[in-house]
Amino acid sequence: MSQHASDLDFEHDGHHQGGGHPSVLFYNIIAISLFVVTALEVGVLYPPLSEAGTYFRVILLIVLSIGKFAIVVAFFMHLFFDAPLLTFLFAVGMVIATGTVAALINVMPAAEHPLQPRGKPKHPPVESATPAPHALLEWKNQRPS
C-alpha cells in the first residue's frame, strides 16, 4: 500500500508540516529572549525585599517560567506553526497534569504549605535517627496446633 498523503488528506485543513519553517534568525531571537528571561529569573532572587516582596517574587518567578515554557513549546517545538491536533494532544496531558499536581499539593497534609514563606525548619535536626524496626511479625504458623 502506498497511499499518498494527499489522497488521505480529506479532513485536515491542508496544514502540512514543512509548510514554512521559521528562519534561523527567528530561532536566534527566541533563544536570546530565553536567555534573558533566565537571567531575570536568577536576578529576581537578589534584590533585598520585604515580606510583601516575597509574594511578588514568587508570582514573578512563576510567570517567568510559564513564559519560558510556553515559548519553547510554541516555537522550538513548533506547536505554534504545526497542526492544532498536536496542540490538543499535548494540552490534554498538560491540563490534567497541572490540575492533578495542584490538587495533590493542596490535599496533602503539609508541614508547611510549599508555597508559603517559611522561616527556620520546623523540625530540629534529630540527633541519630533510630533505624526502623525490622519486621518481627511471624505469620508462618497460623494453624492452631
Q: Which residues does 67 contact at the CB level (< 8 Å), separation at least 6?
A: 37
**Dist CA 134 CA 73 (whole Å):** 48
Of 56-75, which residues contact another protein (CB under 8 A)? 57-58, 61-62, 64-65, 68-69, 72-73
Residue from 47, 52, 126, 145 binding another protein (CB under 8 A):
126
Q: Which residues does 74 contact at the CB level (< 8 Å), separation at least 6?
A: 80
- Beta strand extents in 8-116 (DSSP E only): none
Of 12-31, which residues contact another protein (CB under 8 A)? 12, 14-18, 21-24, 27-28, 30-31
Residue from 47, 48, 50, 123 binding another protein (CB under 8 A):
123
Cβ 134 to another protein shortest distance, Å: 6
